[in-house]
Amino acid sequence: MVKAAPGIGDLAQAARRRIPRFAFDFLDGGAGNEAGVRRNRERLDAILLKPRCAVGVDPDTSVCLFGRNYALPFGVAPVGMGNLMWPGGDLALARLAATHGIPLVVSTAATTSLEEMAAAAGSNAWFQLYVARDPAINRDLLERAWRAGIRVLVVTTDVPIPGDRRRDRRNRFVLPFRPTLSFIAQVIAHPEWALATLRAGPPGFPNYAPYRPRGVSRPMAEFMSEQIKGDFRWSDLAPLRQQWPGSLVVKGLLAPEDAALALEHGADAVWVSNHGGRQLDSAPAAVDALARVRVALGPHAVVLMDGGIRSGEDVAKAHILGANMVFSGRSFYYGTAAGGAAGAARAMTLLAEDLRRVMVQLGASGIAELDRRWLWE
């Protein structure tokens, strides 16, 4: 039963069985040989912690970020095509973000509109922008996000060109769905997913719906990938910074030099990420890059991080190495794929309970306390 899944890995196994292979592979897969996906995990696993005894703490897991309090020090990373994994998954996560008091980042490529997501997640919703070639689209998306009550903008910079997603190519996975024999066979083999998807309609890109030129029958996915700017430059940040009165985060940085440049160009925070190993297969593990970025930027910069986080213990490790907030994409969508809203809730509970358990064992009473003193070096 998904409600009793012992760990995120169990949710991933359940997801693998419950949804068609092309959908699971889209979520689970990475770039190239997927060494980068594995490295994110291996480097987190290699970090040893030093538990302290006889401290007797009742840990406070809340963090203050961008002038407000979040009940937990982790959030939901932006995931495009989220409802492919399970219809209604996006909204289930948005509601959970509101209940648990954690940030949830709505992707430009989300399958649920930013307005609906913000209505469900309340002030916990952030918006992730893939910068479009047409500046009018960027302006309008920012305006819509602000009107919807969103106050944190995340600009993703690590997709100058789509990663080499071999599983998607092997599965001939494209949008809109192309009904090849293998596609049809996988759908038939997963009738619960098929029925739910049929009822909800195939996943689309509602955030981009207003911008597709009228009278053109090109698929939305094609229009969107054409718009999403491959050649993002630092100078492209200026008009966004000028327009956006809220907090601005630059996501997808690994090099400490780039993290410094993002701050120089007006970002309030940097988000260390290798896109979950979906872009450059030989990129460093996100947790290694995090440690370097923290050293380079000093103690006061706001540094967010994702990549391979699958437990509360991982969340604690990332905070120990200098993150102010930690995110995961797959952990939560393994949850929706494994069991819809109940699976998403299980993912959330697993991370939260594990984090508390780890903090008690470490003898850490608050997130801000977590630093390198807890590393076993």
Ligand X SMILES: Cc1cc2nc3c(=O)[nH]c(=O)nc-3n(C[C@H](O)[C@H](O)[C@H](O)COP(=O)(O)O)c2cc1C
Residues that are catalytic: 275
CA-nearest of 78, 54, 75, 51 to 63 is 75
User: Nearer to ligand X by C-beta: 246 or 366?
Assistant: 246
Around Cβ 291, how many Cβ atoms within 10 Å? 22
3-class state of residue 248 by DSSP: strand
Report long-range pairs for 138-143 (Cβ below 8 Å, ≥24 apart).
Answer: 138/239, 138/240, 139/239, 139/243, 140/210, 140/211, 141/108, 141/114, 141/207, 142/240, 142/243, 142/244
Shortest spacing between CB 331 and ligand X, in angstroms = 6
User: Cβ of residue 55: shortest distance to ligand X, in angstroms?
Assistant: 30
Residue closest to ligand X when measured from CB atoms = 329
* Closer to ligand X by Cβ: residue 27 or 63: 27
Q: How far is the CB of 197 from ligand X (least distance, A)?
A: 16
Name the residue type at position 83. Answer: N
Smaller CB separation from ligand X, 252 or 256: 252
Contact set with ligand X (CB under 6 A) = 26-27, 40, 77-80, 107, 109, 128, 156, 251, 273, 275-276, 278, 306-309, 328-331
Outline where the chain has alpha helix (H).
Answer: 8-18, 21-28, 35-45, 82-85, 89-100, 114-121, 135-147, 166-170, 181-188, 191-200, 220-227, 237-243, 256-264, 286-297, 312-320, 330-362
With respect to ligand X, which residue has the nearer C-beta, 162 or 299? Answer: 162
Nearest distance from C-beta of residue 21 to ligand X, angstroms: 14
